[in-house]
Structure 1
Amino acid sequence: MQTLVDKVERAEERRRKLRRMLRVAVPIVLIALLIVGGFYYYFPFATGMKSGRLNYVVYKGIVFKTYEGRLIQAGIRPADTGGFQSNEFVFSVSDKEVAEQLMNAGGQTVELHYTEYLGALPWRGYSRYVVDRIVNITDNGGDGVAAPTEGTPEIM
């Protein structure tokens, strides 16, 4: 028959083993979570270029102020008759100078270089797509209608 002292000693030994395991397991789990989170939020998933007509760029946010924008890409004719399909590209801008250039280019056709992440961070922007530079800005003449070429009559 076990004495009370033996039972207390065994219980104390189990607590010591549990503490040792926790001292090793908790840091390993925290490091694993940091690695997975860092990969998810900071590893670039893809990079690319988008072009289209710049709809808007705004500076917004309550706690984290970020530059957010929308690009309307050229539509494609759907299989059904009539109409065009509009494709929107919603993005965040990482650089203040790039955002200010885009704010002055509203309504113009722009080509943007972006980086896509797996997740969005509040201080980086609301979108997974982060524009880091402007490749080209094309002026549309202000009204979005191409000027008539020589020899073609203007329709009024």
Structure 2
Amino acid sequence: MKKFWVVLLSVAVVALALFVYFRFYFVFGEGVKSGELNYVVYKGVLFKTYEGKLIQSGIRSKTAGSIQSYEFEFSVDDEELARELMLQSGRTLELHYREYFGALPWRGFTKFVVDSIVAVRPLSEELPSGM
């Protein structure tokens, strides 16, 4: 009977470890998003994390008669990258991100984690002609 409980407990521990890995550490997807960096902030109560928002070009409608821009909310777990993004606020950027199935409090509020800046559009390309 003791052997049964040891095996059952071992299976439960392995199942829990696999669940935690796939839920919080397995990279489900990755890609690049482009848009105007709205903000990057350092916030949190117990775990301070860097959170940001990228406004993508185009519009969409969640309900009939309303218009809303595409917003990409993300977390940044690298302090140096977050500080660089803070300096680029308001500019058009291409950001590489990793997507997880779930968020961890010490990694950020979102399941999207930006890990690098792919490109920064020069200011001369961002200004409308005639300015």
- The 5-angstrom pairing of residues 132-151 of structure 1 reads 132-140=115-123, 145-148=127-130
Preserved CA contact (<8 Å) 1:49 1:111: yes
Give the equivalent residue in structure 2 for 1:96. 79
Preserved CA contact (<8 Å) 2:38 2:90: yes
Would you tell me which structure has more strand in proportion to its own residues?
A: 2
Q: How much identity, in percent, do the aligned residues show?
A: 50
Which amino acid is the alignment partner of residue 65 of structure 1? K
CA RMSD of aligned residues (A): 2.1
Post-superposition, which runs of at least 4 consecutive aligned residues in structure 1 deviate over 6 A?
A: none
Q: TM-score, normalised by structure 1?
A: 0.74
Q: Distance in 1 between matches of 2:20 and 2:29?
A: 17
Which amino acid is the alignment partner of residue 12 of structure 2? V
Aligned length: 127
Counterpart pick for 1:115 among 95, 98, 106: 98
Instruction: Please tell me whether Structure 1 or Structure 2 has the larger radius of gyration of its CA atoms.
Output: 1
Give the number of the structure with larger relative contact order, counting CA–CA contacts within 8 Å between residues 6 or more apart.
2
Q: Distance in 1 between matches of 2:44 and 2:122?
A: 30
Unmatched runs of 5 consecutive residues or more in structure 2: none
Preserved CA contact (<8 Å) 1:50 1:112: yes
